[in-house]
Amino acid sequence: MDTTLQDPTPSPSGWDDPIVGQLLDGRYRVDARVAVGGMATVYRAVDTRLDRVLALKVMHPALAADAVFVERFIREAKSVARLSHPNVVGVFDQSADGAYVYLAMEYVAGCTLRDVLRERGALQPRAALDILEPVLAALGAAHRAGFVHRDMKPENVLIGDDGRVKVADFGLVRAVGSATDTTDSVLGTVSYLAPEQIEHGTADTRADVYACGVVLYEMLTGGKPHDGDTPAQVLYRHLNTDVPAPSAAVPGLALELDELVASATARNPEVRPHDAVALLALARDARAALGEEQLDAVPPQARTEGGVRDHDRSEDRTSVIPRAVPQHTSRLAMPPEPPPRARSERRPGRPARRGPLLVLAAVLLALGIGGGVWYINSGQFTRVPAVLGQTEAQAGERLRDAGLDVGQTRRAFSEVYERGTVMATDPAPGERIRGNGTVTLTLSRGPEVVKVPNLKRKPLTEAKRLLAEEGLAPGVVTEAFSQDIPQGAVISSDPEPGTERAPDSAVALVVSKGVPIDVPDVAGESVADATETLQDAGLTVRIAAERIHSPEAAGSVAAQSLAEGSRAAEGDTITLTLSKGPRMVDVPDVTGEKADAARERLEDAGFEVKVEKTFPFLGDTVASQSVEGGSTAPEGSTITLTIKGL
């Protein structure tokens, strides 16, 4: 996710956002929306207990029910909290308030490296290294703590107004020991994925090193090393083509910079620096070998026209990317050693890489490095004025007064803004923009209504598709018997066809179970006979694994899941439980007892009782019983008592 923790004016930038203005957990007052990503939205908020400004990263409610996303969210909080590094965006708290799962994070007022590259194109080598080194310090701390970022890119490098560089969005972080993804896809951003991430789904510390090499190339040249019309073409080039030397795009760049990029982006991970600490040492070596003129060389900005300003940002988004390589490239295995790169003999006087530099790198990791890159932001940006709710003419005048151009106008439906007024701007109100940049206006077309389509007799899957095409959502689905609507087709909808509703409204559906079937009684029948009877009625038969004692003969049907006379739909399953035969029960000896007491004892034992009197009304004492007391008899069988006379 691209979470740009910028400094928007608390304003209508979140005009349609239900969280803006709320107090989460009775503590965090949400003031403005800052950035929106695929997994979460970032807001500027105030911690009312400590009275400090912070950023709230709130997971989209639709994902909060997914345990995998929530686990990843919580993992980010725990991982970053353990780092506590000056070049890492800190996490203060993690909690949930109803449907909102959120992280409370450090607020960084500034912009992202992506903003800088989009506005400036290639950077001077000194600026590129001033940004790269604190990034490597942050990643080095993570790597030495046992974590891999897995999604390094310019969107996740924040440059504060004070010049401090920080790494954000550890949402894809993994422990080094569990970095292998065994599924058929990999999370990441196509332009920065290492070959092993694409081909095998593996991402250890060297994958972050590769991504940093690509970011360095982009800072030095103003463009990505591998491009293509589709993400698949970009992935193919990462697998099969070396990252070119930056000097091929920007002539005059020092060879040391070419070598630094080549080392970080070797296609074979075995020959890359093993983690960010090692790459930081190489970066410091390269800086030390460059003269002041080489560090401050002003790069040509030929690539900014149509290359940096207008590039397609779809490749910059974190995505779920299939690992399968297209068939025509699958035979191209990664070479055991990288192809030859441009190298040169060490120049006279160039300092060798020495142990003290590694010691220096460790110190820098502990303390945070550099005085910042404050000069990146100075005098370059303004903020988009608030024009929401104004007419097109009013908004255009205000934007031009701020030195901004008005771009192409769009139109969209809105339940909030009056027809013809501005409902959104791109960039949003309060966002940073280059002083002479262009703002796109979206004008309201007023409220939109949708008519519920006639779905009667449509199969459920088709009915859901038709609702989606009309901009509606399927609601609760219930079932009912029908004499004339086929099974699985829609009987009715609520609201009824032709009813006008707002887009995304839910439509409840009643789906037919078909013509009802009266369930026959098969108790006491053999399995074969009972199965035939039920299948002839249009029902499915299942035999229960366990058997029970019953008066029915062993092996015959003792019970059925739907009783005789119940109504079922065609294809419904009836579960049959088979008999183990009757249970054998001890027979009480009741001879000599009064008839009523004898009957009660026998019935309590599970028998049926029949009483016979030789001379009625002449006595009530049991003379004999048909089954001798002390023996056993089937439960439920009948025992006859004979009553003697006086």
Q: Which residue has the tokens 């990252």?
A: 243
Name all contacts of 530-538 with Cβ < 8 Å and 24+ positions apart: 530/557, 530/560, 530/576, 531/576, 534/574, 538/570, 538/571
Specify the residue for token string 């992506």. Answer: 114
- How many Å separate Cα 121 from the centre of its chain? 33
| CA 548, chain centre distance (Å) | 48
- Residue 578 and residue 557 in contact, taking contact as beta carbons nearer than 8 Å: yes
Q: Check: CB of residue 482 under 8 Å from CB of residue 449.
A: no
Beta-strand ranges (E) seen in 106-230 are 110-112, 147-148, 157-160, 165-167, 174-175, 185-188
Report whether 222 contacts 299 (CB < 8 A): yes
* Paired strand residues for 166: 158
Question: Are 543 and 492 within 8 A, CB to CB?
Answer: no
Q: Are 90 and 80 in contact (CB under 8 A)?
A: yes
Query: End-to-end alpha-carbon separation of the chain, Å?
Result: 99
Tokens of 479: 């079932």
Note whether 106 and 92 are within 8 A (CB): yes
Q: Residue 61 is inside which H or E element, if any?
A: helix 61-64
Q: What CA–CA distances, in Å, run from 421 to 391, 417, 609?
A: 4, 6, 90
- Are 188 and 202 within 8 A, CB to CB? no
Rg (C-alpha) for the chain, rounded Å, is 38
What's the CA gap between 219 and 520, in Å, rounded? 78
DSSP code of 303? G
SS3 464: helix
Sign of CA dihedral 557, 561, 565, 569: negative
Q: Give the separation between CA 421 and CA 387, rounded to whole angstroms.
A: 9
151 is catalytic: yes
**Is 35 in contact with 2 (CB distance < 8 Å)?**
yes
The DSSP H or E segment spanning 365 is helix 355-367
Which is the catalytic residue, given 2, 31, 151, 285? 151
Q: Which residue pairs from 250-256 have beta carbons closer than 8 angstroms and sit at least 24 positions apart in sequence?
A: 250/122, 250/220, 250/221, 250/222, 250/299, 250/300, 252/297, 253/125, 253/220, 253/297, 253/299, 254/125, 254/286, 254/289, 254/290, 254/294, 255/342, 255/344, 256/285, 256/286, 256/289, 256/290
Closest to 213 in 3D by CA, of 178, 173, 259, 165: 259
In angstroms, the CA 137 to CA 174 distance is: 18
Interatomic CA distance for residues 210 and 194, integer angstroms: 6
From CA 492, how far away is CA 398, in angstroms rounded?
52
Nearest to 249 by CA among 429, 121, 370: 121
Q: Which amino acid is at 629?
A: G
d(C-alpha 77, C-alpha 73), whole Å: 7
Q: Which of the residues are catalytic?
A: 151
